[in-house]
Structures are given as C-alpha cells and as structure tokens.
Structure 1
Amino acid sequence: MFGRRPVRAAKGTILARSVSFKAGGRLDAGCLLGPTEIAALVMAGVGEVTVAELDPHDVAQDEVARRVSAAMVPLPSDANLDLGRPSAGAVQITATCAGVLGLDTAGITRMNRVDEGVAVATLPQFHRVAKGDVVATVRVIPYGVKRSALSKVIEDAHDTIRVRAVLAETASLIQTVIGGDGGAAKGEAFLRVRLDRLGVHLIETLVVPHREEALAEALLSARGEVVFVLTAVETVDRGDVAPEAVKQAGGVITRFGLPVDPGARFFAGGLGAVPILGLPGGARDPAMTGVDRLVDRLLCGVSITDEDIAQMGVGGLSSSDV
C-alpha cells in the first residue's frame, strides 16, 4: 500500500516523504513510524503523511539490496570487490584494486528484466577501474519487493561481477627511430601515464634504429613482463620491420590490425611467455582509443579472441564531435 494516511493511523508504516518540523529537526523518508515518530508528528501538528506499508509477501528495500548484491558477489575478496552497507534501498559495489571490470552481461540483463523495482547499473564491460571506484549499484526503487521476484533476481545474480586484477607489474618500451629520437620522449610519457592508471611500472625504455636486427636484439634483452613496441613509422603489414623483428627474435605474431580508428595499425604477439604489443602512432597522443581498451584487457589477463576484436568495430570510431 502507498498513499496518504492520518498520522494517528500510520503506526508501523514507512514514511515515504520526509517531514521537516518548524521547530527544527525532521523525519527522513524511509524511516519506520513507531510510537516516538508518531508522537513527534502529532506534536508538530502534522495531520497526514504519505506512507508505504509492506504486505506479508514483501521484502523491505534495504534487505532486497543487500541480498541481491551478496548474490552478485558471493566472495568479495576473490572478486576484488567491496559491498557497501544498504542505505535508502541502494548498495554500492566498489573495486578493491586496479584492473578491468568483468561482467556476466547476460545475467545482469536478466536481473533487470525480473521486476521494475530492482535496478542494477554497472560500468561497461572491461572498463578500466582504480581501487575505490564505484563499479556498480544495486538500487531498489520502491520500499518493498515481492519475495517471489527477489528469489528470481537472486537466481540470475550469482557471480555476475568482478574486477580482473592486473597480472603484469612491469613493462618495457622499445622505440625505433630514424635519424634521431623521433618523438621518443612523447611516446614514453604517454605510455607511462596509461600504465600508471593500472599500477604497471615502466621499468625501461630502449631506443634503437628502425631495423629488424636492432629491434630483435632489443626484444631479447627487454626485462619487462610485457613489452610495448612503438616504431618510427607505423606498421602496415605483417612483413614490416616490427613483426619481422619479433619473428627474428623467436617470437610469433598473433594479431595484426584492429577495427578501430585511430589505432588500426596495432599488432600483438609474444616471445616465450612475454606478451609483445605493437602500438600505433596514436599512442603518442593522450586521447584514449580502442587500443587502450584492448591493452587494458591484455594486462589483466583477459583472453582476446578474433570475435572479440571483430566486435570492437561497433563504437570503434573515435570522434571529437561525440
């Protein structure tokens, strides 16, 4: 039940609209109207209040938010998440470490279909997060939800959100140059900013001539857990200098090209267990691109399939007009 009710008949209901007293003080929406609250309203001359009353089949909003969030994150420490205390029908879910957000998007969509009163909102899939960031909220809009609806939401909620922590702690940058440093300082500065956001330390920058032999030697000597390559001229073919240098060093190229703009001229590979990521020229620019999202995922150990990359095309165009 929701509506207006005489104050003296409102005991045991939930106040739906806050009431401020002329003499000072207030009763906040959501409070249970017990004898003390009723007496205060009568003393203040309030005749009617807007209230909500739960029936035996309803569960109060804070309890709904608590149960739903607990189902979404059954083991908070394993999921690198913290569940806030329910307040006004809402629970905030925050990251306890840096990483990327991992979601069961289908499960969360099913949750939001069950009952209009239960709303789950998250950051986007694979969004980069820092420690303390709010990554999701569970909000219960009315003051109560049917027990049957809550049970169905909980069925769909199990283990639907986590933060994938960064696996690599260190990185190396190899830059090739033609007749000078060719903007090497700018490339290093912007990569360092990108890595710092995830707590990855750029431990070295190697600058070598834009030749296969020199780059292959640098790849073999790099000490980082992941190696970034930024060439003097962008890589335009699997047979270009950088991919050939990776193969010359004994590595492999697993992907060349992305359906993003800017950032299409990206390549990925590996040398033993060390990932090698060939950055496009746009890495010398502070603007975020689809490549940044891909790199974040790789640093957090999220496998990337050809289908994942194909799906990057929708929304892969970056525009200053958006």
Structure 2
Amino acid sequence: MKKIATVDAVGHVICHDITRIVKDVVKDVAFKKGHIVKEEDIPMLLSIGKEHLYVWEKTEGMLHENEAAEVLYDICKNENIKPSEVKEGKIELIADIDGLFRIDVERLDKINELDEIIIAARHTNYPVKKGEKLAGTRVIPLVVEEEKLKKAQESVGDIPLMELLPYKNMKAGIVTTGSEVYHGRIKDTFTPVVIEKLSKYNISVCKHKIVNDESNMIVDAINELRENGADLIVCTGGMSVDPDDLTPSAIRESGAKIISYGAPVLPGAMFLLGYFEDGTPIMGLPGCVMYAKATIFDLILPRVAAGVKITKKDIARMGNGGLCLSCKVCIYPNCGFGKGV
C-alpha cells in the first residue's frame, strides 16, 4: 500500500472502502476496495476530503482489512450462522434461524486482548430471531500483520467461537398445585402465562393436571405426565418454604435430581430445577412468573428449549445481571437483565 495524491491516482486501485456522508441524506460506500480510479472520480474524491489516497501494493506477511475480517469470520462461524458482505473491513454474522445464540466468552476475551483485532458480539445465551445480527468482526488498521491473525486462530483452536442452537420441538406437561384452584375457588391465571411463554420456543402442552396440596397427588401427576411423553415438566404453585407448600419435596419424591432450589435472580429466587435420569427437565416456578414481565423462567427457558443441560454453576453465575429493574415499560430481552453470562 502506498500513499499518493488524489489528482495523480487515475488508474490506481483503491485499497480500502471510502465512505461518503451527507448529514440526513446519505451514509454509504462511495468507492469500494478494488475500484480503479477514473478521471471523473477525482472531483467526488476531493469533495469528500480525500486529498490523498492509499493504493494497494501487496506486501508479504500483511493482510488487507477485508482479508483479515474473513479470517475472523472463519474463527466464529458455525451452523445456522451466515456472513454479511464484507464492507469497510467488517463482516457481520447473521442468524439463519430462530434459536439460542451462545459464545465462548473466555476465548472471545483472548482474541480481543490481541492488538488491532476485535470481535463484538451479543450476549451469550441470547434468544435471537432469524435475520438478526449476532456479531461483527474487523481489524483496526487498513492492513495488519498476518501473524496476529494466526495468533487469534491459535487462541480459538478448532472449535468455532460461536454457535446458534435451534429450538427443539418439545412437549411440556404442566402441574398446577393449590387447593384454591383444585376446588374451583379461584380461576387458574398461572397456566395461561406459562403456556404463552412456552409457545415462543415451539413448546406445546401435551397435558395439564390440577392437583390439591398433597404430595402424593403431585407425584402421581408428575409421573402421569412423564408417561404421556412430556419432554419438559413445569410445576406451578406451592414453591415457597411455608410448611404447607409441598411442591419442592414432591418433585424430589418423583425421582428427579435437584440441580438447584433457589436462584440468585430477582424476581425468581424460589425457582427449582431438576432432571430425571433420562434427561427430562422439571421446573418449579415461583409465583412471580405469573405477574412479573421477566423472571428467572425467561432466562432458563430458552436454554432448555435449545436442549442445553443447565448446571448448578450456570445458575449461580446468573447473580451477575440477575436483578430486574422492573421498568414501567418492559423491553426484555433488550436490557441488562440476565446478561451477566
């Protein structure tokens, strides 16, 4: 690459995109990398402040910004992810399906600690829609040492940095616990909320059981749902530590291994998650899920829907970002709630 006066650039190849910005009118690439300068281009180039141009001279061991962006994209790409066109040394990664976006944060940090290289991404474990942006890659200078890109490749290894997991076509069974609902004293307003949230992730309800506050009834209902082919079991009601709230103990009696009873998330502290031996997840939902716009259920459900096995450590790490601010107008998931990990 060499620098020459614009008036002397006719016939030379521009080595980087040149952007033209007119306030409230246009912001776009006026001349793309690889454009051969013509006599009629000179007035336009001068009008956007380009008294000099950098024209391309290939140098051994150096990569142009567009070439470097391609290398960074290769580090990130995975199934269900597609690239945008290379523009001004940047490639954006686009979701090709609805799904759960996940990124290895530790390896991402290693890349971004290298000089002159960046990968900017959405938060990991973020539910996305087809066509949405996932990340962007670029280098800071117009040309960069090829050795730096090799270091980035070595720090990532053979496993892609990012993944976009499709949601499984799951069937859920719901157990509603509470004498007031069982005896018809009040209307069940909890189950419709759960069904609506499940439907966002392609989860249908195969069976719904309403039971009294009795351990044996809760256990029998859970077993019946499993026998009816439920891929996920959701229990509502009776989730506090009050002596007459028996849902947590009944879930244990049903044979599920409890991963966590309690989560560092507000709202949603009294959340329970467990798994049966065959991998079927079971959740105990606290009452806040019925009335709060966003809760622990909204953080956990996309992962479960994508078939991700959740650990005790995963739940413990949710404390960072686990406080919902209960905004008057809820904009979740486009906010900080649940974005710590």
- TM-score class, shorter-chain normalisation, is 0.7 to 0.9
Aligned counterpart for 1:264 among listed residues 249, 257, 269: 269
Question: Bigger shift: 61-70 or 163-172?
Answer: 163-172
Aligned to 2:303, what secondary structure does the other structure show? helix
Change (3 A) 1:167 1:182: farther
Question: What does 1:108-123 correspond to in 2, within 5 Å?
Answer: 108-116=108-116, 118-123=117-122
Cα pair 2:180 2:186 within 8 Å, conserved: no
1:96 corresponding residue in structure 2: 96
Is the contact made by 2:72 and 2:138 (CA closer than 8 Å) also made in structure 1?
A: no
After superposition, residues 138-157 of structure 1 pair within 5 angstroms as: 138-157=137-156
- SS for the counterpart of 2:223 is helix
- Name which of 49, 54, 58 aligns with 1:52: 54
Superposed CA offset, 1:80-129 (max 9, x none): 3223332332222223333322222121111112233x321111121122
Shift of 1:61: 2.0
Question: Could you tell me which residue of structure 1 aligns to residue 321 of structure 2?
Answer: 315
Greater alpha carbon shift after TM alignment, 9-18 vs 55-64: 9-18
Q: Matched residues in 1 for 2:18 and 2:222: separation?
A: 66
Partner of 2:8: 8
Report the 3-state secondary structure (helix = DSSP H, G, I; strand = E; otherwise coil) of the residue aligned with 2:191: helix
Determine the C-alpha separation between the residues in 2 that align with 1:208 and 1:42: 80
Figure out how many residues of one structure are paired with residues of the other and give that number: 309
Letter of the aligned partner of 1:253 in structure 2?
Answer: I
Say whether the 8 Å CA contact 2:17–2:87 is kept in structure 1: no
Aligned partner of residue 180 in structure 2, secondary structure: coil
Residues 219, 104 of structure 1: alpha-carbon distance in 2 compared, 3 angstrom cutoff: same
Match among 156, 176, 191 for residue 188 of structure 1: 191
Structure 1 unaligned blocks of 5 or more = 21-25
Conserved 8 A contact 2:239-2:248: no
Partner of 2:174: 173
| 1:150-200 per-position Cα deviation (integer Å, ceiling 9, x unaligned) | 222222344111123334511111111322357765322322332223222
Q: 2:219 aligns with which of 216, 220, 224?
A: 216
1:293 aligned onto 2:304: no
Pairwise CA distance, 1:281: 0.9
Q: Secondary structure at the match of 2:40?
A: helix
Greater CA drift, 298-307 or 146-155: 298-307
Q: Is 2:66 aligned against 1:62? A: yes
Distance in structure 2 (CA, Å) of the matches to 1:114 and 1:160: 16
Contact persistence 1:228–1:278 (CA under 8 A): yes
The 3-state SS of whatever aligns with 1:14 is: coil
CA contact (8 A) 2:114 2:148 kept: yes
For residues 270 and 44 of structure 2, the distance between their equivalents in structure 1, rounded to whole angstroms, comes to: 71
Matched, 1:137 2:136: yes
TM-fit CA distance, 1:239: 9.2
1:240 Cα deviation from its structure 2 partner: 4.3
- Counterpart of 2:107 in structure 1 is 107
The 3 A distance-change label for structure 1 pair 157 and 50 is farther
Aligned-pair identity in percent equals 22
Counterpart residue type for residue 87 of structure 1: K
Distance 1:310 1:142, change over 3 A: same
Of the three residues 30, 33, 54, the one matched with 1:31 is 33
> Do the aligned residues in 1 keep the contact of 2:89 with 2:139 (CA within 8 Å)?
yes
4+ runs deviating over 6 angstroms: 1-4
C-alpha distance in 2 between matches for 1:252 and 1:44: 69
- Equivalent residue of 1:52, what SS? strand
Question: TM-score when scaled to structure 2?
Answer: 0.78
Structure 1 stretch 104-113 or stretch 87-96: which is displaced more?
Answer: 87-96
Q: Render the CA deviation track for 1:56-92: whole Å, top value 9, x for unaligned.
A: 143222221122111222xx33xx3223332332222
The match for 1:82 is: 82
Q: Is 1:161 the counterpart of 2:162 in the alignment?
A: yes
Cα separation, partners in 2 of 1:17 and 1:129, compared to 1, 3 Å: closer
Distance 2:208 2:286 in 1: 17
- Partners of 1:242 and 1:186 in 2: how far apart? 18
Tell me the C-alpha RMSD between the 2 structures. 3.1
Contact 2:239–2:245 (CA under 8 A) maintained in structure 1: no
Could you tell me which runs of 5 or more consecutive residues in structure 2 were left unpaired when the two chains were aligned.
22-27, 328-335, 337-341
1:243-297 deviation digits (Å, cap 9, x = unpaired):
2222443444332111111101011223442221101111113522234212332
**Paired amino acid for 1:198:** Y
User: Aligned partners of 2:46, 2:259: CA distance in 1, in Å?
Assistant: 72
Describe the shift of the 1:157–1:238 C-alpha distance in structure 2 as closer, same or farther (beyond 3 A). Answer: farther
